[in-house]
Amino acid sequence: MTSKVALITGGVGELGRAISNHLLEAGYLVAAMDLNADSEAARQWSRSLNGTRKNLMVIAGDVTNYDSCLEVVQQVEETLGNVDILVNCAGITRDGTLRKMSKEQWDQVLNANLDSVFHMSRHVVNGMLERGFGRIVNIASVNGVKGQYGQTNYSSAKAGMHGFTMALAQEVARKGVTVNSVSPGYMNTAMVRSVPEDVLDQIIGQIPVGRLGETREIAAMVGFLVSDMAGFITGANMNVNGGLHMH
C-alpha cells in the first residue's frame, strides 16, 4: 500500500475515472481535477466509491489556464500532500479537415491537449526533483503516432505530448523522476459507442485483437508506470491499441 498523492487531469471523464479508481484501489491518495468537478456525474461517482471515497479529492480547474493549474496544485498539496504523480489525461477534439478548420478549433485543441501538459508539469516538477521521486504520465493517442484524417489539430497535439515526454524525461531522469506517454487506441467509451453501428464495425474490423479497448486496461498501464517497479522506464510511449498500429 502507498500514501503517495496522484493528481489526474480530466479526472471526472470516463478514462480519468478509470485511472482514478485504479489508483485509489492501489492505495494512492487521488485528486481528480476537472472543469466538471461539480457535475452530478462527479457526485455520483464519488458516492459510488464506498471505502476509497475518503482518499479522493475532486477539484475544479481549467488545464488551459496556467494560473488555474497552479491554484489546483497548491490546494491539492495543502489538502492531501505533495504531488508525487501527475497524469495528464484532460483533452478534447474539434475535428475537421484542415481546409475547413478554424483558428479557434486549432487553438482549442492545442491548448487543452498540449499546453495543459506544460501548465501542469511545470507546477509539480520542481517539487518532484527536490524530493527525488516523481512520475508524470501523459495520455496521448494512437492518432498522435499514425495520424488521422480530419484531426490535424488533435494528431499534432498528441504527437507533441510525446515530444514533451521525451525531452522532459532527459532533464529529470537522474533525480528519480520518470516521464512517459500512454497512447490508447479505440476504447469502449460512450463517445466511441455513439458512432453509427456500421462505422463502429469497420473500426473494430481494423483492430487485430477484434475488439475495443477497455478503460481499465489503460488504467492498469498507468498504474504500472507510476509504481516503484517502473523506475527504469522513462521517455517511453506505451501503445495500448490492440495492434491497430504497431511500431
pLDDT at 2: 58
Give catalytic residue positions.
154
**For 25-40, what is each residue's pLDDT tens digit?**
999 999 999 998 988 8
User: Is residue 207 a part of any domain in this protein?
Assistant: yes
User: Is residue 86 a part of any domain in this protein?
Assistant: yes
For residue 85, give every residue at least 6 positions away whose Cβ sits within 8 Å of its Cβ, in sequence order, or none.
4, 5, 6, 7, 23, 28, 134, 135, 136, 137, 226
Q: 198: pLDDT confidence band, cut at 50, 70 and 90?
A: very high
CB–CB of 35/152 below 8 Å? no
**For 92-108, what is each residue's pLDDT tens digit?**
999 999 999 999 999 99
Residue 41: pLDDT over 90: no
pLDDT at 219: 98
Strand 29-34, strand 56-60: pairing = parallel
pLDDT at 180: 98
For residue 149, give every residue at least 6 positions away whose Cβ sits within 8 Å of its Cβ, in sequence order, or none.
97
Higher pLDDT, 125 or 193: 125
Q: Which domain holds residue 198?
A: 5-240
User: Is residue 114 a part of any domain in this protein?
Assistant: yes
Among the residue ranges 18-22, 49-53, 58-62, 127-131, the one predicted with the least confidence is: 49-53
For the chain, the domain total comes to: 1
CB–CB of 237/247 below 8 Å? no
Residue 67: pLDDT over 70: yes
Residue 190: pLDDT over 90: no
Q: 192: pLDDT confidence band, cut at 50, 70 and 90?
A: confident
User: Is residue 247 a part of any domain in this protein?
Assistant: no
Largest CA distance in the chain: 53
User: Is residue 129 a part of any domain in this protein?
Assistant: yes
User: Is residue 39 a part of any domain in this protein?
Assistant: yes
**For 131-147, what is each residue's pLDDT tens digit?**
999 999 999 999 999 99
Residue 78: pLDDT over 60: yes
Residue 151: pLDDT over 50: yes
**Which CATH number belongs to the domain containing residue 16 in this structure?**
3.40.50.720
Per-position b or e across 15-48, b if 16+ CB within 10 A of its CB? bbbbbbbbbbebebbbbbbbbebeeeebeebeee
Mean pLDDT of the chain: 95
Q: Taking residues 13-24, what's their average pLDDT?
A: 96
Q: Taking residues 119-125, what's their average pLDDT?
A: 98
pLDDT at 1: 45
Q: Taking residues 62-76, what's their average pLDDT?
A: 98
- Return the percentage of the chain with pLDDT > 70, whole number: 99
CA angle 119, 67, 176 (to 5 degrees): 40
Residue 207: pLDDT over 60: yes
